[in-house]
Structure 1
Amino acid sequence: MKVLGISPLDKDSTVSIVEDGNILFAAGEERFTRVKQQSGFPRLALEKALAYTGLSMSDFDLVCYPFLTAENEQKLFSKNLEDEKEFIKSFAPKDLGPQIKEALSRVPDRSEAIHGLTHPNAIMEKSFLHSSYYSMTGATKMASNTMALKASRQWGENAQESFQHWQTELTDGLASVGWSGPIKRMDHHLSHAANSFLCSGFDRALCVTLDGYGTGLAGSISEGRDGKIHRLHGLPFPNSLGTLYEHVTSSLGFKPSRHEGKIVGLASYGDPSILGDILLSRIQQTPGDFRIYEANNVFFSRYLASKFPKIDVAAAYQYVLEKVATDYIRHWVQKTGIDTLVLSGGVTANVKLNQRIFEIEGVNHIFVYPNMGDGGCGTGAAMYHSWPGGAKPSMGDSYMGPDYSESEIEAALKAEGLTYQRPEHLAKDVAELIHNGNVVARFDGRMEYGPRALGNRTIMYHAREPEVNQWLNKRLGRTEFMPFAPVTLYEAREKCYHNIKGAEHAAEFMTITFDCTDFMKENCPAAVHVDNTARPQLIQRHVNPGYYDILKEYEKISGIPSLINTSFNMHEEPIVSSPEDGVRAFLQGALDYLAIGPFLVKHPNPQH
């Protein structure tokens, strides 16, 4: 059975082609339009998918979309927002005034510089009028209640309009490519549960989904068994950890739904105890459930950001995310006795949270779907409706996009007038270049599916030099608080990381952090964060021989089984897709070398 899966069109629009539960092709529209998190009907991605697989629209048995109709979604969230009114009315928050005063007295003096901040205790400087407004709408009960309900009402109005708009765009887009058959609509969180469970390789697992909003929910717990999924609990929107984290991302000056990773990095520098209890006091936790007070009121986080250091605000929100999520999940682990977790949903892009989830007592195995955000939902829906049943093999890799022939690669190099070689021992030559301090971009094989670069559209450097985080980010036009992530030989995983047993499969896709060993801290400081964790990609040769061989050759030279791996793109651009994209990013980023297909290219104007 051949199924076309299309992810939600509001952001990160993605196409997946699945046959009998197996993914033949999957790629985001952003890679072809070159607009990050591209919304709208994924016309270019669909063209690439059909060309790559040799299929036409008439070959599909079904088209799947991971939301219900606009009318049905509206019914669900409208009821939720009515329920929220009763919760806000019944909730008795603690008096914020004394809490804030006491918290401010515990902010330490700091002098050690943090790259990317003007001062370690930098706050979001606001005018007197702005600060007064945030104080009223975020921290004064009557005004903040009013603002929270107004924000929920506006969210509902915008959501209704959005669902109608994208529903029309979906049906019109499919009609324009010749599809006249039905569109199989699916519960959003079931599509998340399906992609994680059906790619995990586990016969039985507890499926955890956490995101902003989807079909009336902000999260769910399900039992997956023998290819079937049974929901045990749903978290009603707007009690959304995704929204909570979006708020702090916005309030600290970053783009919500895009820059949450920066908050994770920033949080490690702060003290979660300064504001953690204040935040927790606004969340009503019960066994296996929780409710968030004034969940849609962004002005509370803006109020905190205008008074407290950015690092302490970030630390508190990360702490509360971890605490509330792990308390929620722990209950269901204990209730079901299932020791195996599979995770999906935008919140599970938070790699530090995933580490905390894996550390829950009783959890022995974990898998995080590599394209955990909404871009992966079309794949989940298509797999769910095409899998014939029973246990499914694990996802071997995420190289599901297009690849390019040698002649196409050569044409892109010639178009820029670049001189190139075809080395006899490419992996060995690249390893030597990296060992000698060169930055090498790699472009080869099928493009990765999802947000992480996993070797085929990757920039590599040795991890011995902590300063690389500053100067390479500057070359690429990036400002980051996280270190670069490492790629590590699979067989060296326990030499480099603590407590990785049971999470090896998740670590192949760079979806979870681990505490680093002394060996890793001493030999790869550029890949170790200030909290002594790293987010590795474990690589095995059968998964990606060319990439593995570079790392293996590097280990022979240096004795170190890890390298820096960062995505091959310029700042705020999607990861490169075509040879032309790769050549352009190589030249713009002033990278030293480009290993593209079988060819090796030296930058015509090297930086050193």
Structure 2
Amino acid sequence: MLVLGLTGGLDLISENIFKIPFGSQHDASATLIENGKIIAAVEEERLNRNKHTNKAPMKAAEECLSISNYLLSDLDWIAIPLLEKSLDHSLAHMAIEQPDFGCYTSRTFLQKLLMRKFNIAVNPDKFYFVNHHEAHAASAYYPSSFEHALVLAIDGEGQGYCGAVYSATHQEMKQLRTYSRQRSLGNFYTDVTFHLGFKEFDEYKVMGLASYGDSSRYRSKFKELYSLQSEGNYDFDFSELEERLYQIIPRRLKADELTQQHCDLAAALQATLEEIVLHVLTYFQGETNHKNLCLAGGVALNCTMNKLILSKGIFENVFVQPASHDGGLSMGAAFLAHTHSSATRIEPLSHVYLGTHIGDDQSIVKQIEKWSDFCEYEQFVNIEEVTAQCLAQGSIVGWCQGRAEFGPRALGNRSILADPRYGSNKDRINSIVKMRELFRPFAPAVLEKYAHEIYQIPAHLKNFPFMTFTFDVKDEYVSKLEAVTHVDDTARIQTVSKEINPRFWNLINSFHKLTGIPIVLNTSFNNNCEPIVNSVDEAITCFLTSDLDVLVIGNTLIRKINPSIIHNKLLQLMPKLSEGWLLCGTSLLDNEQYLLRNTFNDNVSITLSRGIFELLLHANSFATFTELISRLVKYKGTDFINEPFLNEIYSLWSRRVITLRPTSN
């Protein structure tokens, strides 16, 4: 039984036909399972390079099939986490609004979409449609290894609801309750996130900010908005939320300083979420007597909430789907299609190294050599020991190995690593590598054997490989682990097993031998403008446009030849616009404007100089900047190639709006 799960939007990356808002149908992905085993899972953003992309997951589907050496025609089912009648309705509305669009059913439209990508006519009977929250729930229950469990799917909203509760027994899930979107805790958290001056998908920042605050200061304001009711119900009055927030503090602008008031508001928000979720779970645990809990949906990524749930002791075991965001819907949909047609059990999820492979040493070196004007490299048979020495000496290291992770966390295959002992490393990575807020914490990757020694973890629990829980750091280790201990003396841990990821384990073990600390700081390998790196070229690009000290890919260690002259060598590279970006020249009252816009967020535009605009009009990834300039006669001359021009190129490259690649040597 071969099943492909797909989630995301309906447009290709070059299109915006459906005008889907940036915050809808986000985190597109594909998952391929064979006889109950996940053999590939890829997020579309890793391939089209647009964070949280809501485009159709065609590249991800292609990558899953390529990884497993299957063809689209080999599939038994194509699972979609959307009700068929809902998609039928949307397509009918499109036909009315845009007569040129044509008339489609869900099945005929998806058939056409796949035909455009794969040039294969899929039997429309192979499409299997499932409910949004049922797919979330399935993504957590089926790979959890639990025979019996309570399952909570909780997010912003999906198909009119914000959550659902299930009782799962013997591989079947029975729905116990749904919660309408009018009571959405996910949307509540997002609304307060906006008020605090953050943007869409920044809820995790507010969770981190909450640890700096005192929840009691504003809890009474939030308590006026909701009431806990019998049988696991609650009411929430969103009509007064904005007014209440303005009574507390004016809406913060992005550039405004974060004050203690903002921290206290974040803390009150976090406490409100936790109280309501615990109310729901406590009731349904009492009704079902389940000792195991499964969590999924975007709210389930709140690892501080997960810590509280576990600490209350109402469940003996808690499994959180590591891809709890909407990217995990493709996995859940695939599980449901499989269980619909097969009695073969879904294999437990022991890891999420399910994506693109970085390549073997030969292919890695071949790609690195193209960047020889910028980088020098050396290969080692003991790369883990060499990297551990770099970390112990204070280097911040980009680390790429094997297959990429599925989900929002880097877990040792596409990671930035550092020594966890010194708080200065946290500040340095936040400010000059990740370019993000200084208050945000980093996670420790700890050898599984030492987790209980360092963190206050329930004695009967051993493995926490997915960074889905925080735990208290034991007093004697707080000062020893400054870079990975949050302000409230907690840490979002990843336990590392030798059996699951031997290379990452060997690296941490080597660092342990050098320093006595069985932990490294681990954060995702990307800057704040891009998804986690997926390929060698993307890793090198991030390396060259950040202050990372060392890059390790496979068995190869890479250093910058001379970081100070990278700007001067940019003209040797071949530019092209990144996917989804469009050049727009406008003229308004004799004032010419040269802009970049994109197909995924109408609110974003970038102003260009005329020179860069003209060059990018002709950029095709086959000519260097120098060659393009020589062809544009009116821009020849030294006046054109000046410091502002080079700075503009570097800025666009750093923001991943343009892609630069070296010529083949």
Query: TM exceeds 0.5?
Result: yes
Deviation at 1:34? 1.1
Report the equivalent of 2:567.
none
> Contact 1:244–1:295 at 8 Å: present in 2 too?
no
Q: How does 1:588-603 map to 2 (within 5 A)?
A: 588-603=545-560
Deviation at 1:169? 6.8
Report the equivalent of 1:82.
none
Q: Distance in 2 between matches of 1:349 and 1:74?
A: 31
- Point out the structure with max Rg over C-alpha: 2
Q: Distance in 1 between matches of 2:87 and 2:559?
A: 56
> Contact 1:16–1:23 at 8 Å: present in 2 too?
yes
- Assess, with a 3 A threshold, how the Cα gap between structure 1 residues 70 and 519 changes in structure 2: closer, same or farther: farther
Q: Could you give the per-residue CA deviations for residues 329-349 of structure 1, whole angstroms, max 9, x where no partner exists?
A: 111112211111111000011
Report the equivalent of 2:135.
191
> Contact 1:264–1:318 at 8 Å: present in 2 too?
yes
The answer to whether structure 1 residue 499 and structure 2 residue 457 are counterparts is yes
Q: How does 1:444-459 map to 2 (within 5 A)?
A: 444-459=401-416
> Contact 1:423–1:598 at 8 Å: present in 2 too?
yes
User: Which of 277, 298, 314 lines up with 2:266 in the alignment?
Assistant: 314
- Assess, with a 3 A threshold, how the Cα gap between structure 1 residues 384 and 504 changes in structure 2: closer, same or farther: farther
Deviation at 1:478? 2.0
- Assess, with a 3 A threshold, how the Cα gap between structure 1 residues 586 and 462 changes in structure 2: closer, same or farther: same
Report the equivalent of 1:119.
none
- Assess, with a 3 A threshold, how the Cα gap between structure 1 residues 29 and 430 changes in structure 2: closer, same or farther: same
User: Which of 234, 245, 262 lines up with 2:205 in the alignment?
Assistant: 262
The answer to whether structure 1 residue 56 and structure 2 residue 71 are counterparts is yes
The answer to whether structure 1 residue 332 and structure 2 residue 284 are counterparts is yes
Q: Distance in 2 between matches of 1:249 and 1:74?
A: 32
- Assess, with a 3 A threshold, how the Cα gap between structure 1 residues 392 and 15 changes in structure 2: closer, same or farther: closer
Q: How does 1:383-532 map to 2 (within 5 A)?
A: 383-387=335-339, 388-389=342-343, 392-403=346-357, 404-417=359-372, 418-476=375-433, 477-501=435-459, 504-505=462-463, 507-532=464-489
Deviation at 1:501? 4.0
Q: Which has the higher strand share?
A: 2
Q: Distance in 2 between matches of 1:593 and 1:604?
A: 11
> Contact 2:152–2:163 at 8 Å: present in 1 too?
yes
- Assess, with a 3 A threshold, how the Cα gap between structure 1 residues 295 and 26 changes in structure 2: closer, same or farther: farther
User: Which of 34, 38, 55 lines up with 1:40 in the alignment?
Assistant: 55
Question: SS in structure 2 opposite 1:25?
Answer: strand
Question: SS in structure 1 opposite 2:547?
Answer: coil
- Assess, with a 3 A threshold, how the Cα gap between structure 1 residues 596 and 299 changes in structure 2: closer, same or farther: farther
Q: Distance in 1 between matches of 2:36 and 2:536?
A: 30
The answer to whether structure 1 residue 275 and structure 2 residue 218 are counterparts is yes
Deviation at 1:298? 4.8
User: Which of 124, 134, 139 lines up with 1:181 in the alignment?
Assistant: 124
Deviation at 1:282? 1.1
Higher relative contact order (CA 8 A, sep 6+): 1
- Assess, with a 3 A threshold, how the Cα gap between structure 1 residues 530 and 170 changes in structure 2: closer, same or farther: farther
Deviation at 1:261? 0.8
Letter in 2 for 1:281: E
- Assess, with a 3 A threshold, how the Cα gap between structure 1 residues 385 and 69 changes in structure 2: closer, same or farther: closer
> Contact 2:79–2:128 at 8 Å: present in 1 too?
yes
Deviation at 1:361? 3.2
Deviation at 1:499? 2.5
The answer to whether structure 1 residue 231 and structure 2 residue 171 are counterparts is no
> Contact 1:226–1:389 at 8 Å: present in 2 too?
no
- Assess, with a 3 A threshold, how the Cα gap between structure 1 residues 233 and 247 changes in structure 2: closer, same or farther: same
Q: How many residues align?
A: 519
TM-score normalized with structure 2 length? 0.74
Report the equivalent of 1:135.
none
Report the equivalent of 2:45.
30
> Contact 2:87–2:106 at 8 Å: present in 1 too?
no
Q: Distance in 1 between matches of 2:88 and 2:190?
A: 22
- Assess, with a 3 A threshold, how the Cα gap between structure 1 residues 305 and 209 changes in structure 2: closer, same or farther: farther
Deviation at 1:296? 9.2
> Contact 2:88–2:106 at 8 Å: present in 1 too?
no
Report the equivalent of 1:382.
334
Report the equivalent of 1:543.
500
Q: Distance in 1 between matches of 2:154 and 2:105?
A: 25
- Assess, with a 3 A threshold, how the Cα gap between structure 1 residues 457 and 72 changes in structure 2: closer, same or farther: closer
Question: SS in structure 1 opposite 2:238?
Answer: coil
Q: Distance in 1 between matches of 2:154 and 2:239?
A: 15
The answer to whether structure 1 residue 15 and structure 2 residue 15 are counterparts is no
Question: SS in structure 2 opposite 1:402?
Answer: strand
Can you give the 5+ residue segments of structure 1 that lack an aligned partner in the other structure?
76-156, 158-163
Report the equivalent of 1:358.
310
Q: Distance in 1 between matches of 2:246 and 2:55?
A: 31
Letter in 2 for 1:446: R
- Assess, with a 3 A threshold, how the Cα gap between structure 1 residues 302 and 446 changes in structure 2: closer, same or farther: farther
Letter in 2 for 1:483: P
Q: Could you give the per-residue CA deviations for residues 253-306 of structure 1, whole angstroms, max 9, x where no partner exists?
A: 1112x1111101111111111111221221121131112112696554455341
The answer to whether structure 1 residue 560 and structure 2 residue 517 are counterparts is yes
Q: Distance in 2 between matches of 1:384 and 1:33?
A: 27
Letter in 1 for 2:397: V
> Contact 2:470–2:491 at 8 Å: present in 1 too?
yes
Farther-moved stretch of structure 1 (467-476 vs 551-560): 467-476
Letter in 2 for 1:24: I
The alignment-based identity, stated in percent, is: 31
Letter in 2 for 1:414: E
- Assess, with a 3 A threshold, how the Cα gap between structure 1 residues 412 and 341 changes in structure 2: closer, same or farther: same
- Assess, with a 3 A threshold, how the Cα gap between structure 1 residues 519 and 391 changes in structure 2: closer, same or farther: farther
> Contact 1:40–1:169 at 8 Å: present in 2 too?
no
Report the equivalent of 2:13.
none
Q: Distance in 2 between matches of 1:74 and 1:304?
A: 42
Q: Distance in 2 between matches of 1:537 and 1:399?
A: 14
> Contact 1:419–1:602 at 8 Å: present in 2 too?
yes
Question: SS in structure 2 opposite 1:343?
Answer: strand
> Contact 1:592–1:606 at 8 Å: present in 2 too?
no
Letter in 2 for 1:249: T
Farther-moved stretch of structure 1 (531-540 vs 351-360): 351-360
Q: Could you give the per-residue CA deviations for residues 429-480 of structure 1, whole angstroms, max 9, x where no partner exists?
A: 1111111111111101000000000000001111111122222112222225
Report the equivalent of 2:623.
none
Report the equivalent of 2:236.
292
Report the equivalent of 1:323.
275
TM-score normalized with structure 1 length? 0.81
Question: SS in structure 2 opposite 1:184?
Answer: strand
- Assess, with a 3 A threshold, how the Cα gap between structure 1 residues 73 and 228 changes in structure 2: closer, same or farther: farther
Can you give the 5+ residue segments of structure 2 that lack an aligned partner in the other structure?
10-24, 91-96, 98-103, 252-259, 565-665
Deviation at 1:74? 7.7
Deviation at 1:315? 1.0
Deviation at 1:390? 6.7
Q: Distance in 2 between matches of 1:322 and 1:165?
A: 41
Q: How does 1:55-94 map to 2 (within 5 A)?
A: 55-69=70-84, 71=86
Deviation at 1:412? 2.1
Deviation at 1:391? 5.5
- Assess, with a 3 A threshold, how the Cα gap between structure 1 residues 318 and 574 changes in structure 2: closer, same or farther: same
